[in-house]
């Protein structure tokens, strides 16, 4: 089972937009790869609509979407046609047809006892590294604002070398401010004390300092 920090395994997949080579076809971009249990199911349909309605938000963050289930490609095609015809939402992102289950099995998307995928979400960075993984059971639809928040948080962490507090950017203690890595040497502790004295950062203590960006 793939883990956070590993390079996403190279694979060739069949999708509704043709053959894709992962992760190389998405080099230089973030990729949100997500699985759903099955086409033509109620919760999955609401999720695809939610993803599509936020697709432009993902694009603005240099991210693309790629769905997956163990259905065949013609099922995917008919389902997205049904969504457009009945809900007025055109699904623009590709969907992997993993009808033999090989991709889902390699990525750990299958439950302990079952043959349909759970609701997994993989965050793959522009270098092809898996940065975050979220799993939901089939009966629980995903929170799509949280997926966007996690992507923004990972990008913010990369840009500024910081960590993000609970519920960022709406943390109940420090709001939208970000956390500095804990001082791990006496020299760095002294530097943090100096930064605090100058008003450059704020601290609850020397090991919990934060700032605005």
Distance in angstroms (rounded) separating the CA atoms of residues 167 and 143: 13
| CA–CA distance, 91 with 17 (Å, rounded to integer) | 11
Residue 182's Cβ-side half-sphere holds a number of Cα atoms within 13 Å equal to: 5
pLDDT at position 125 is 98
β-strand pairing of 208-211 with 202-205:
antiparallel
Weakest-pLDDT range from 20-34, 103-117, 131-145: 103-117
118-137, pLDDT tens digit by residue? 999 999 999 999 999 999 99
**What gap in Å lies between CA 156 and CA 173, rounded to an integer?**
19
Residue pair 67/188 in contact by the 8 Å Cβ criterion: no
In this prediction, residue 114 carries a pLDDT of 81
Task: Give the residue numbers marked as catalytic.
Answer: 44
List residues bridging with 97 in a β-sheet. 69
**DSSP bridge partners of 30:** 63
The residue among 28, 36, 9 whose CA lies nearest residue 95 is 36
Q: Does domain 161-213 have CATH number 3.30.1020.10?
A: yes
pLDDT, mean of residues 190-200:
94
Spatial distance between the Cα atoms of 120 and 137, rounded to a whole number of angstroms:
9
DSSP E strands in the chain: the ranges are: 11-15, 18-22, 30-35, 63-69, 95-97, 119-124, 130-136, 178-179, 202-205, 208-211
Q: Which fold has domain 11-155?
A: Glutaredoxin (3.40.30)
- Local confidence band at 1 (pLDDT 50, 70, 90 cut-offs): confident
Per-residue model confidence (pLDDT) at position 44: 98
Tell me the pTM: 0.94
Mean pLDDT of 194-204: 96
pLDDT reported for residue 136: 95
Instruction: Report CA 201 to chain centroid distance, whole Å.
Output: 30
Q: Where are the domains of the chain?
A: 11-155, 161-213
Burial track 188-198 (b if 16+ CB lie within 10 A, e otherwise): eeeebeebeee
How many CB atoms neighbour CB 200 within 10 A?
11
pLDDT tens digits for range 82-115: 999 999 999 999 999 999 999 999 999 999 888 8
């Amino acid at each position: 089972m793939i883990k956070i920090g590993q390079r996403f395994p190279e694979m060739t997949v069949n999708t509704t937009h043709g053959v894709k080579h992962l992760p190389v076809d998405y080099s230089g971009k973030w990729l949100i790869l997500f699985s759903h249990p099955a086409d033509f199911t109620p919760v999955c349909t609401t999720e695809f609509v939610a993803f599509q309605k936020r697709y432009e938000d993902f694009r603005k963050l240099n991210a693309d979407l790629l769905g997956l289930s163990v259905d065949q490609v013609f099922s995917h095609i008919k389902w997205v046609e049904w969504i457009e015809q009945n809900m007025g939402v055109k699904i623009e992102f590709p969907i992997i047809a993993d009808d033999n289950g090989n991709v889902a099995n390699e990525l750990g998307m299958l439950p302990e006892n079952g043959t349909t995928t759970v609701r997994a979400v993989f965050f793959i960075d522009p270098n092809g590294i898996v940065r975050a993984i979220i799993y939901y059971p089939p009966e629980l639809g995903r929170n799509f604002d949280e997926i966007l928040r996690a992507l923004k948080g990972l990008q913010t962490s990369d840009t500024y070398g910081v960590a993000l507090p609970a519920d960022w950017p709406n943390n109940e203690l420090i709001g939208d401010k970000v956390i500095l890595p804990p001082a791990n040497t006496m020299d760095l502790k002294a530097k943090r004390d100096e930064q605090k004295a100058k008003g450059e950062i704020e601290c609850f203590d020397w090991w919990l300092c934060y700032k605005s960006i």
